[in-house]
């Protein structure tokens, strides 16, 4: 299996060959009709009824925004419900409403260390009722999704594009898998087209530090001519 994290140090360049580049769409299911608030699961009802400024307000704000987006609420109505129940920055609503998956029960039942982790075991909001064991998460509970056929009551929208890249590193002799953002993937596609159109170009990979995180960086450079053997090398 290829490794997920390439072994290079920051800034160290390595010649690489692309073995595959796959574009992947992350899809989000959204209900055609808004779920009735009476059908909301206990955890979401608890979020709506808790003090807005309490502990974990950013976590619960993100959970609620993602939940309302998936269970079919239009932006205006979802925004009204969200603002009444939360005391968090507007950016959280914008980042999560119809743009992120509402966490499943397994994720919610973890003890979170703080936003953006969304575990709420430490907040006492997960209070399962008799229906909870039948569903994977809050969205499935509210929309009564018990099978894939039930998902026909909604639609899938694309929320994120990523690229799955496999390269061979000629310096280490190892194969590596890298996940690229849409912007990074499109930039690599342009480089590969440029490489295919020209001659004597090689693809070079390195990692660069951007806002405290190492990011993949690709570029083209001229391929060095093979060193000619001198007579002195043969004597």
Q: Which class for 209: exposed (0-12), middle (13-18), buried (19 or more C-beta within 10 A)? A: exposed
Report the interhelical angle of 57-70 vs 42-49 (nearest 10°): 130
Residue after which a domain boundary falls, among 99, 132, 158: 158
Report if residue 94 sits inside a domain. yes
Q: What is the average pLDDT across 203-214?
A: 90
pLDDT band at 53 (very low <50, low <70, confident <90, very high): confident
Per-residue pLDDT reduced to its tens digit, 56-89: 999 999 999 999 999 999 999 999 999 999 999 9
In a domain, 110, yes or no: yes
182 is a domain residue:
yes
Distance CA(150)–CA(139), nearest Å, equals: 12
Q: Are residues 131 and 181 both part of a single domain? A: no
36 lies in the same domain as 106: yes
Does the pLDDT of residue 107 top 60, yes or no?
A: yes
Q: Provide the whole-model pTM.
A: 0.76
C-alpha span between 95 and 228 (Å, rounded): 58
* Residues 31 and 143 placed together within one structural domain of the fold: yes
The pLDDT value given to residue 154: 98
The answer to whether residue 6 sits within a structural domain is no
The domain boundary, picked from 114, 130, 158, lies at 158
Cα dist. 203→58, 142, 164, 174 in Å?
A: 43, 50, 17, 16
Domain shared by 197 and 216, yes or no: yes
Q: Are residues 129 and 35 in the same domain?
A: yes
CA distance 196 to 63: 46
Distance, CA of 116 to chain centre: 12
Dump pLDDT digits (tens) for 142-169.
Answer: 999 999 999 999 999 999 999 999 999 9
Alpha-carbon Rg for the chain in angstroms? 25
For residue 8, what pLDDT band results from cuts at 50, 70 and 90?
Answer: low
DSSP H stretches of helix in the chain: 42-49, 57-70, 75-85, 90-96, 105-108, 138-143, 182-197, 231-234
Domain that holds residue 197: 14-25+162-234
Q: How many domains does the chain have?
A: 2
According to DSSP, residue 166 is labeled E
φ and ψ of 108, to 5 deg: -65, -30
């Amino acid at each position: 299996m290829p490794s997920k994290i390439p072994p290079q140090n920051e800034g160290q360049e390595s010649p690489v060959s692309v073995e595959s580049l796959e574009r992947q769409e992350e899809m989000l299911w959204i209900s055609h009709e808004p779920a009735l608030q009476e059908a909301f699961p206990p955890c979401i009802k608890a979020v709506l009824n808790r003090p807005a400024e309490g502990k974990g307000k950013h976590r619960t704000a993100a959970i609620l925004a993602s939940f309302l987006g998936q269970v079919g609420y239009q932006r205006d109505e979802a925004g009204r419900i969200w603002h009444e129940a939360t005391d968090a920055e507007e950016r959280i609503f914008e980042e999560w409403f119809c743009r992120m998956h509402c966490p499943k029960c397994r994720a919610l039942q973890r003890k979170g260390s703080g936003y953006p982790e969304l575990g709420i075991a430490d907040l006492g909001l997960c209070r399962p009722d008799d229906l909870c064991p039948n569903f994977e998460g809050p969205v499935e509970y509210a929309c009564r999704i018990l099978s894939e056929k039930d998902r026909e009551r909604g639609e899938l929208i694309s929320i994120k594009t990523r690229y799955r890249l496999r390269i061979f590193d000629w310096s280490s002799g190892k194969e590596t898998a890298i996940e690229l953002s849409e912007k990074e993937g499109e930039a690599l596609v342009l480089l590969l087209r440029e490489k295919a159109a020209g001659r004597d170009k090689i693809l070079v990979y390195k990692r660069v530090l951007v806002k405290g995180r190492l990011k993949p960086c690709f570029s083209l450079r001229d391929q060095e001519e093979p060193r000619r053997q001198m007579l002195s090398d043969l004597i």
